[in-house]
Amino acid sequence: MGIEVEQLGPGFFAELRGVGLKDVAERDDAYALVRAAFEEHSVLLFRDQPVTDELQAAYSKRFGPLETAKAASLGEGTPYSILTNIDRATGGLVPPGHKEELRAKANQLWHTDSCFKIPPALASVLSARIVPPSGGETEFASTRLAWDRLPASLRVKLEHAYAWHDYAHSRGKIAPQLASEREKAAMPPVSWRMRWRNPENGRDALYIASHTFAIDSMTDDAAQALIAELTALATAEGHTYQHRWRAGDVIMWDNRAGLHRGRPWPADKPRHMVRTTITATDADGLAEMWPARAAA
């Protein structure tokens, strides 16, 4: 199979041409090529895909088991997380202050998906179904490249540090009651090592997000200051890549090695995206993320 890989971002993020979701779903050689590109570039873009929920799931399943959408989110209990401002009941747009609008705001904080879950996510696959005429981009940063930019002394410290992640923490930055009691009960805080090593290529990445609220043996204030500093370093100007969506675009990103955030768009324009999320396994380097848990 001849595929073309064009790197679009600063050291990561590549567009693939000559291969699509259907090829990966159906052919082992296509999967192997795309998997290798994923390990290398961290974020992959496919344009002009004839995307349906079923095709997206068939593609995603190649990479590992699929997550079930979380408690109380649209798509709960299915493999599809739906990010939309279209009200399913009326077909109109949700009013200002609606939960989906607040969720979109929370997604505009730099994060990696599902670090607040056990197990966390290897990758997310997001497809654009309806895009607004302006805004609504998604911006990416590499925490693998950020790791390499850290002072060596900090890398040594973070390698063996454990951080705590909580869905309610990031939601709380937008609105105090955004995470419901049911969501909080379903997703209590969890901790992971702050460095995720990719077993395929040995590359290390910093594992933090807007969900991160504490670090073992630090005060919460000091931990939050450090997380803010590390996020700023990872997402500094010149180190990010912003994707302007077209309907039919599909992007897969490595949640072990990056941060991403949504960008705002005019409230009177519809935007509808569907995400499938692939669960990390020990083959993806998960065992090292919590040795105590792996040994238990």
* Binding positions for Mn ion, rule: CB under 5 A: 113
Could you say which of 75, 132, 262, 285 contacts ligand OGA (CB under 6 A)? 262
What minimum distance in Å lies between the beta carbon of 83 and ligand OGA?
A: 5
What minimum distance in Å lies between the beta carbon of 9 and ligand OGA?
A: 16
The site partner of 279 among ligand OGA, Mn ion, none (C-beta below 5 to 8 Å per kind) is none
Give whichever of 30 and 83 is closer to ligand OGA, judged by the CB atom.
83
What minimum distance in Å lies between the beta carbon of 261 and Mn ion?
A: 8
Could you say which of 42, 60, 84, 138 contacts ligand OGA (CB under 6 A)? 138
3-state helix/strand/coil string of the chain: CCCEEEECCCCCCEEEECCCHHHHHHCHHHHHHHHHHHHHHCEEEECCCCCCHHHHHHHHHCCCCECCCCCCCCCCCCCCEEEECECCCCCCECCCCCHHHHHHHHCCCCECCCCCCCCCEEEEEEEEEECCCCCCCEEEEEHHHHHHHCCHHHHHHHHCCEEEECHHHHHHCCCCCCCCHHHHHHCCCEEEECEEECCCCCCEEECCCCCEEEECCCCHHHHHHHHHHHHHHHCCCCCEEEECCCCCCEEEEECCCEEEEECCCCCCCCCEEEEEEEECCHHHCHHHHCHHHHHC
Could you say which of 107, 191, 198, 279 contacts ligand OGA (CB under 6 A)? 107
Give whichever of 49 and 170 is closer to Mn ion, judged by the CB atom.
170
The answer to whether residue 126 forms part of the interface with ligand OGA (CB under 6 A) is yes
The answer to whether residue 132 forms part of the interface with ligand OGA (CB under 6 A) is no
13-42 binders of ligand OGA (CB under 6 A): none
Q: Are 219 and 243 in contact (CB under 8 A)?
A: no
Q: Are 174 and 98 in contact (CB under 8 A)?
A: no
Could you say which of 231, 275, 279, 289 contacts ligand OGA (CB under 6 A)? 275
The answer to whether residue 276 forms part of the interface with ligand OGA (CB under 6 A) is no
What minimum distance in Å lies between the beta carbon of 136 and ligand OGA?
A: 7
Site string for ligand OGA, 77-96 (x = CB under 6 A): ------x-------------
Phi and psi, residue 72, nearest 5°: 70, 5
Q: Count residues contacting ligand OGA (CB under 6 A)?
A: 10
Give whichever of 109 and 267 is closer to Mn ion, judged by the CB atom.
109
The site partner of 117 among ligand OGA, Mn ion, none (C-beta below 5 to 8 Å per kind) is none
Torsion over CA: 254, 67, 22, 27 (sign): positive
Could you say which of 33, 161, 163, 273 contacts ligand OGA (CB under 6 A)? 273
Please report, as ranges, the residues that interact with ligand OGA according to CB under 6 A.
83, 107, 113, 124, 126, 138, 260, 262, 273, 275
